Amino acid sequence: MGIEIEAVSKRFVRMGEGGVSEPFVALNDFTLSIRDREFVSFIGPSGCGKTTILRIIDGLTPPDSGRVEIDGKPVTGPGPERAVVFQNFALMPWATVLQNVSFPLEIKGVPRQDREVTARRCIELVGLKGFEHVYPHALSGGMQQRAGLARALTVEPKILLMDEPFGAVDAQTRHLLQEELINIWEKGHQTVVFVTHSMEEAVLLSDRVVIMEPSPGRVAEVLDVPIPRPRHADEVRRSREFVDLSNYVWERLRQIIIECRNRPGCAVG
């Protein structure tokens, strides 16, 4: 499913100096077209609106102006064709992996036998076969994130929205999860919108990388990633294209941060 984002702006109110509330422009005139089955990553300094635009695409946050359409239909709220994976695993601690993963189907009224078949398939897809009856407290952070991804996949989303899903795990686990996501995407070919702070992660996973700038949040540059698919993560990480593109993204972000710090009222985390 394709996504059209046209001239989207969003303002919030935040506490300023002396406890005085002041308006904050999170996004201004954000425009982007995302093709069906495309993997697009958003990267930028903290406070540039990456999570805000993801929530607007999902329908959790309405824009103040502009529009978002999915396959030509306006987004007015969350929809069954979209699923979100957040950085915090949000697993129910009192439920097993199988119960957590099958929960979205239970909410939809899918019969128990059918939802368990689907949940077990998704659990195997993310590499958690054999852990169906384990509770979250007994899982590592990476395994919990795999369970969260499996839960999103049970509803067979056409669009997968991912908000720094690997940000809370160690570097080795992050590499393994990146490889897993590449394999999952190449099997299912969902449209993926992925928020990250990692230059290397954005280049490794994506067809295009959207570099954002803050205050207000907007598109600074859109980069094509000319690394062929299917991708083998270890080979990609050693390639000249990967190194050059990752370095370019870092230099571009560094320039954006420096320019922001020299601009009155602009702050980056």
pLDDT tens, residue by residue, 74-111: 999 999 899 988 877 678 999 999 999 999 999 889 99
Return the closest-CA partner of residue 163 out of 176, 153, 149: 149
- The DSSP output letter for 219 is E
Query: Could you identify the residue written with the tokens 């509770």?
Result: 135
Is 128 among the domain residues?
Answer: yes
Tokens of 170: 């160690």
| Residue 45 preceded by cis peptide, ω within 30 | no
pLDDT-derived band at 266, boundaries 50, 70, 90: low
Give residue 122's identity as a one-letter amino acid code.
C
Q: Which residues contact 171 (CB under 8 A, 6 or more apart)?
A: none
- How much is the pLDDT for 118? 94
- Looking at the domain assignment, is residue 37 inside a domain? no
Please determine, for residue 216, whether its predicted confidence score (pLDDT) is greater than 60.
yes
Residue 246 pLDDT level (bands cut at 50, 70, 90): very high
- Phi then psi for 48, rounded to 5 degrees? -90, 0
Find the Cα–Cα–Cα–Cα dihedral 228, 234, 235, 237, rounded to 10°: 80
Structural domain containing residue 146? 91-156
- Calpha distance 86→177 (Å, rounded): 14
The pLDDT of residue 189 is 86
Residue 207 to residues 40, 83, 112, 179, 229, Cα–Cα distance (Å): 6, 20, 38, 15, 9
Q: Is residue 170 part of a domain?
A: no
Give the global pTM. 0.90
CB 68 within 8 A of CB 75: yes
In a domain, 200, yes or no: no
Concatenated DSSP letters for 31-90?
Answer: EEEE-TT-EEEEE-STTSSHHHHHHHHHTSS--SEEEEEETTEE--S--TTEEEE-SS--
Q: Token pair for residue 216?
A: 């207000």
Is residue 217 pLDDT above 80, yes or no? yes
Residue 121 lies in a domain: yes
Domain assignment present for 6: no
What average pLDDT score do residues 5-23 get?
Answer: 78
The 10s digit of each residue's pLDDT in 117-171 is 999 999 998 889 999 999 999 998 889 988 999 999 998 899 999 999 888 788 8
Number of compact structural domains in the chain? 1
pLDDT at 142: 87
pLDDT of amino acid 204: 96
Per-residue pLDDT, averaged over 2-12, amounts to 94
For residue 94, give the H/E element and its range: none
86 neighbors 148 (Cβ within 8 angstroms): yes
Residue 133 lies in a domain: yes
Domain presence at residue 118: yes
- The phi and psi torsions of 142 (rounded to 5 degrees) equal -65, -35
* Average pLDDT of the chain to the nearest whole number: 90
